Amino acid sequence: MRVRLVAFVVVLLLATGLAVGYVAMKSTDLPSHQGAGADTVADKGLALKTVLAQPHIAFRSTSPGPTYGKLAVVPLDAPRGDRAATDRDCDRVYAAAQAAVCVAADRGVLTTYRLDILNADLTPRTSIDLNGLPSRARMSSSGSLAATTMFVSGHSYAGNSFSTETVLHDVASGNAIDNVEKFRIVVRGRASDDPSINVWGVSFRPGDDDTIYATVAIGNETWLAKGSVARRELRTIADGIECPSVSPDGTRVAFKKRSTSGGTRTWRVSVLDLRTGASTPLAETRSVDDQPEWLDDEHVLYGMQRQNSGISDVWAVPADGRGEPAVFLPRAWSPAVVGGQDAAAALPPVR
């Protein structure tokens, strides 16, 4: 029995040593978040600085392995090639030329989320606490405003009951400047004071820090609304439209159109022409529960989960309803195109 007792103590010491030793070793290996960013050489040797200096896509990597869930960038002209990953875990990513945002989790017994505001080189600038679970994040093309939508109850749009909170943030100071759901919301011509209104999926008109498009919903009805940050107002302009994203030339909005068949909710990604009011379903026939992002004036990007897997890919489909969808950026989620067509492009006059 004594032999066994000794053997047990040995095992106990070994196990403790292994656990403590491993944790200690990893904590010296792991660069702190403060250090991550400009110096990070990444996945397969692409240097972050090089990629950031050219038109690129910022996204959340879903490559299985050490870079899973991390903020990463890839050159716009080589999306299927090597990527430069940072050490930053993000649930949602968006970026503009001057800044980027990352919705990140503080894991603990109670997991909370925060909005990390990053500089152009992806070094951290400031952080703001967010309520709830991440849903969408977008920035204005100048990078001075960011909008986040979080689920304060429920956790997906596929559920029957969920409540969202959509907040506008000033990127320079990091302050939350407005709760979009407190805007004056005009539904079908009449101001609504329904407290259960949900607003989500804000998208900024490129080149414009004031005009926004968003989804407004009361119960099961959803509308596309257009609004003004300065006037704190949203007006519905078309119905059945969710998660809008404004095209680089400002004339169209890509969105997901909801339909309920056999008890399950599905969405078709489509494009609305703001001038004519005509809406065209795009060639992707699978259900897309994502806010689309424009690659350029001809193509729309959206995320698609792989079956039975934690991996997702970003697909591209022509914006005119023709052609076929194809994987554009594999093993990715939440893409943001930076330095593409929308950068300082000449825009038609504001309507």
Q: By three-state DSSP, how is residue 6 classified?
A: helix
Tell me which stretch binds other proteins (CB under 8 A): 156-164, 169-177, 210-218, 221-229.
Answer: 156-164
Residues 6+ apart with CB under 8 A from 140: 96, 146, 204, 208, 209
Joined tokens for residue 9: 């103590």
Nearest to 329 by CA among 342, 340, 339, 315: 315
- Least Cβ distance, residue 345 to other proteins (angstroms): 33
Q: Does 259 bind other proteins (CB under 8 A)?
A: no
Q: Does 124 bind other proteins (CB under 8 A)?
A: no
Q: Does 132 bind other proteins (CB under 8 A)?
A: yes
- Least Cβ distance, residue 85 to other proteins (angstroms): 12
Identify whether the C-beta of residue 251 lies closer than 8 Å to the C-beta of residue 348.
Answer: yes
Q: Does 69 bind other proteins (CB under 8 A)?
A: yes
Tell me which stretch binds other proteins (CB under 8 A): 51-59, 214-222, 230-238, 305-313.
Answer: 305-313
Helical segments of the chain, H only? 2-29, 48-52
- At 221, which helix (H) or strand (E)? strand 221-228
Q: Does 196 bind other proteins (CB under 8 A)?
A: no
What is the C-alpha separation between 59 and 63, in angstroms, rounded?
Answer: 12
- Least Cβ distance, residue 187 to other proteins (angstroms): 25
Cβ closest to other proteins, residue 14 vs residue 78: 14
Q: Which of 220, 261, 264, 276 binds other proteins (CB under 8 A)?
A: 264
Q: Does 22 bind other proteins (CB under 8 A)?
A: yes
Q: Does 30 bind other proteins (CB under 8 A)?
A: yes
- Least Cβ distance, residue 207 to other proteins (angstroms): 32
What is the sign of the dihedral through the CA atoms of 259, 269, 138 and 206?
negative
Tell me which stretch binds other proteins (CB under 8 A): 146-154, 198-206, 270-278, 341-349.
Answer: 146-154
Q: Which of 161, 220, 260, 261 binds other proteins (CB under 8 A)?
A: 161
- Least Cβ distance, residue 69 to other proteins (angstroms): 6
Q: Three-state SS across 200-219? A: EEEEECCCCCCEEEEEEEEC
Residues 6+ apart with CB under 8 A from 92: 60, 101, 102, 103, 134, 135, 136, 137, 148, 334
Q: For residue 273, how many other CB atoms are within 10 A of its CB?
A: 13
Nearest to 255 by CA among 207, 218, 306, 216: 216
Cβ closest to other proteins, residue 56 vs residue 70: 70
Q: Which of 31, 35, 64, 321 binds other proteins (CB under 8 A)?
A: 64
Q: Does 109 bind other proteins (CB under 8 A)?
A: yes
- Least Cβ distance, residue 263 to other proteins (angstroms): 7
Residue found under tokens 């909170």 = 165
Q: Which of 242, 289, 290, 293 binds other proteins (CB under 8 A)?
A: 289
Across the strands, what pairs with 315? 302, 327
Interface residues toward other proteins, by CB under 8 A? 1, 4-5, 7-8, 11-12, 14-16, 18-19, 22-23, 26-27, 30, 33, 62, 64-65, 69-70, 89, 91, 107-112, 132-133, 151-153, 155-156, 158, 161, 263-264, 289, 305, 308-312, 333
